[in-house]
Amino acid sequence: MKKFIPIILILILGTFLRFYQIGQKSLWLDEAASLYRAQKQFLPMIKEIIENDAHPPLYNTLLYLWIRGGKKVSYPRSFTPQVITETRTRSLSALLGILTILLIYQTGRLFFGEKTGLLASFLMAISSYQVFYAQEARLQTLITLLIILSLYFFYRSLREEKKSLWLGFILFTALSLYTFFYSFFILLAENIFFFLYLKRYRSSLRVFIISQLVILLAFSPWIPVLMQRIALTQSIPAAPNFSPWTALLSTRLFFLDFTFGYPRFAFSNQLTSLTLLIFLALAIYGWITYRHKEASFLLLFWLLFPLLIVFFFPLRIHTFQSKYLIFSSPAYYLLLSGGLIKLKSRKVSGALLTMFILLNLFSLHLYYTKDFLKEDWRGTAKYVEDNAGSKDLILFDPPYLGFAFDYYYSGNLDRTGVPGNTSPRAISTLETTNYARIWLIRDYSPVSRPSGTAQAWLKEKYLPENSKGFPGLNGRILVDFYTRK
C-alpha cells in the first residue's frame, strides 16, 4: 500500500488544481457552442456537428451524456446560468484531466520505470497549461487521454502479444480519431515505429495489419466528413504571410506553453527564451540517456510527428495555437522527467525541478486571479443589460456569437446576427427601422472574424455613441452602441 501513496498524493494535488475555481471564469465562444449543441437531441446534434463543426463528435457526445437531466430550452434563449452551470459543464474535462495524470504515471512506468512515471505525473499535475484545458469545456483533455491510452496499449501489445491488449489499442485509437482529426499523426507515428522495428516484432505483423484495417473500418463512416473538411480548408486562401516554414518556426510556442502555460506573456522574452532553452536541453538529455531505446524512439515520434500538422489545415487560415498539439505534451513531460532523474548532480536536478514548479505556480496564480484569460461573455452580457433600453436591438457579428452571449443574457431584447453574405446589400436587408438604438457585438479571435461591412453600414444610418472592449486570451469582444441619426 505504501508504494501507492506518492501517486495518490499527486492525484489529490491534481484534482484540487483542476477543480479550484473551475466555474469562476466566463464560458468562451467555443465552450458555449459545445454546450449549445450538447443540449440538442442526439441526432440533431450529430447533424449540426457534421454541417458546422471542425471536429468529430465524440467529445460532444460525452458532454451530451454528461449534462442530461438539465432543463431543456430553445434557442435563442438557449442558456441560463441556473440550467447548466459552468462548473458542471467543465467538470467533465477536469475529470478527464485527472485521469491523464494517472495514465501518464502508468505509461512512464511501462516505458522507463517507477521514478519517471511518478515525476512525469507530478509535472502534469502542476502544469498550468494542463490545468487551463482541464477547466475548459472542449476536447483537449479527452484527446490527450485517448492518445496516451492508444500508445500505452500499442506498446504493451507489441511486448506482450495479448489479444485483449490489441483490442484496447484498436478501441482507443478509433476513439481518438472520432475526437480529433490530428490523431492520424499519432497513428502514423505508431506505424512508422512498428515497421522501423519490424525485425523484432515480425510475429505481430499479421495482427498489426488487422488492427489497422479494423481502425480504418471503424472510422470509415466519418471519412466523407473528413474529406469535406479538407476540401473546404484548401478552398480558403491562406492567411497573409503564411508559409509552411514560418508556421514550422511558430511551433516553438507549443514548447513555451507546455513549460510556462498561457500566462507566459507575464514574463520577459529574454526570461522565457533562456528558460525554454534550459528545459529543451533537459528534455534532449533525457532522451539521450534513456536506456530503453525502443521506448525512447516511440516517445520521440509521439512528440515530434504532430509537428507535421503545421503543413496542413487549419494553420493555413488560423494563427498557431498549441492546443492543436496538446496530446504531445505528455511526451515532453516524460522527457523532462527522464532528464531530471538522469542528471548526476542532485542539486542541479532539484534546482531545475524547483524552477518548473515556481514558474507554473506563478502562472496558476495569474490564471486563477485574472479575468482576461478567457473571453468575458459574462461581463459583456451584464454591460448590455445594465445600459440597454427597452426598444434596442442587439446585433452579432459574426452571427453565431449568440451562443455565448445568450448563456448569460437574461433580458428580452431582440437579437440577431448579421447576414451570412456580408455585402452592403445583404446588410441593408436587416429590419432595423423599428429600433432607435443598436448594440453591435463583435468578437476577434483565431476562429472569429467580424465583417467590417456591418460596422460601415451602421455608421451610415446611425451615430456611434460609445464603444467598450472586453479583452481575453481567446478573443477580444467589442461592444459598439449606435443611435439613429
**Domain-embedded: residue 124:** yes
pLDDT per residue rounded down to tens, the chain (485 residues): 778 899 999 999 999 999 999 999 999 888 998 998 998 888 999 998 988 888 899 999 999 999 885 444 444 444 444 468 899 999 999 999 999 999 999 999 999 999 999 999 999 999 999 999 999 999 999 999 999 999 999 999 999 989 999 999 999 999 999 999 889 999 999 999 999 999 999 999 999 999 999 999 999 999 998 888 777 666 555 555 556 666 666 677 788 889 988 766 666 777 788 888 999 999 999 999 887 888 999 999 999 888 776 655 444 445 567 888 899 999 999 999 999 999 999 999 999 999 999 999 999 999 998 877 788 899 999 999 999 888 888 988 888 888 889 889 988 888 888 765 555 555 555 666 678 888 999 988 766 777 777 777 777 778 888 889 888 777 789 999 988 87
Cell of 60: 460532444
Domain's final residue, options 369, 386, 415: 369
Domain's final residue, options 339, 369, 399: 369
**Domain-embedded: residue 28:** no
146 burial class (0-12, 13-18, 19+ CB within 10 angstroms)? buried
Looking at the structure of the chain, the number of domains it has is 2
Same structural domain for residues 328 and 301? yes
**Domain-embedded: residue 40:** no
- H or E stretch at 437: strand 437-444
Amino acid at 161: E
**Domain-embedded: residue 309:** yes
Same structural domain for residues 101 and 198? yes
Same structural domain for residues 117 and 265? yes
What is the C-alpha to C-alpha distance for residues 94 and 92, in angstroms, rounded to an integer? Answer: 5
Q: Give Cα 280 to chain centroid, integer Å.
A: 23
pLDDT at position 471? 83
**Domain-embedded: residue 412:** yes
Same structural domain for residues 194 and 275? yes
Same structural domain for residues 326 and 436? no
What is the C-alpha to C-alpha distance for residues 180 and 73, in angstroms, rounded to an integer? Answer: 29
**Domain-embedded: residue 125:** yes
Domain membership of residue 352 as a residue range: 2-23+85-369
Same structural domain for residues 449 and 352? no
For 120, 232, 422, the CA distances from 401, given in Å and listed in that order, are 39, 22, 16
Same structural domain for residues 332 and 386? no
* Residue 184, phi then psi, degrees to nearest 5: -60, -30
Cell of 174: 478509433
Q: Are 147 and 99 in contact (CB under 8 A)?
A: no
**Domain-embedded: residue 437:** yes
Same structural domain for residues 209 and 271? yes
Q: Are 29 and 375 in contact (CB under 8 A)?
A: yes
Cα four-point dihedral sign 315, 261, 402, 39: positive
pLDDT at position 71? 47
Domain's final residue, options 353, 369, 385: 369
Other beta carbons within 10 angstroms of residue 50's beta carbon come to: 14
Which conformational region is residue 27 in: left (phi greater than 0), alpha (psi within -120 to 50 degrees), or beta? beta
Sheet of 462-471, strand order: 414-417, 393-397, 437-444, 476-484, 462-471
Same structural domain for residues 356 and 390? no
Same structural domain for residues 358 and 438? no
Same structural domain for residues 382 and 261? no
For 234, 277, 337, 351, the CA distances from 289, given in Å and listed in that order, are 42, 18, 11, 20
Name which of 302, 306, 304 is nearest 323 in CA terms. Answer: 306
Residue count of the chain = 485
Alpha helix ranges (H) inside 370-400: 377-387
Name the 3-class secondary structure at 371.
coil
Alpha helix ranges (H) inside 161-180: 163-177
Same structural domain for residues 119 and 264? yes
What is the C-alpha to C-alpha distance for residues 462 and 430, in angstroms, rounded to an integer? Answer: 13
Name the 3-class secondary structure at 466.
strand
**Domain-embedded: residue 313:** yes
Other beta carbons within 10 angstroms of residue 62's beta carbon come to: 17
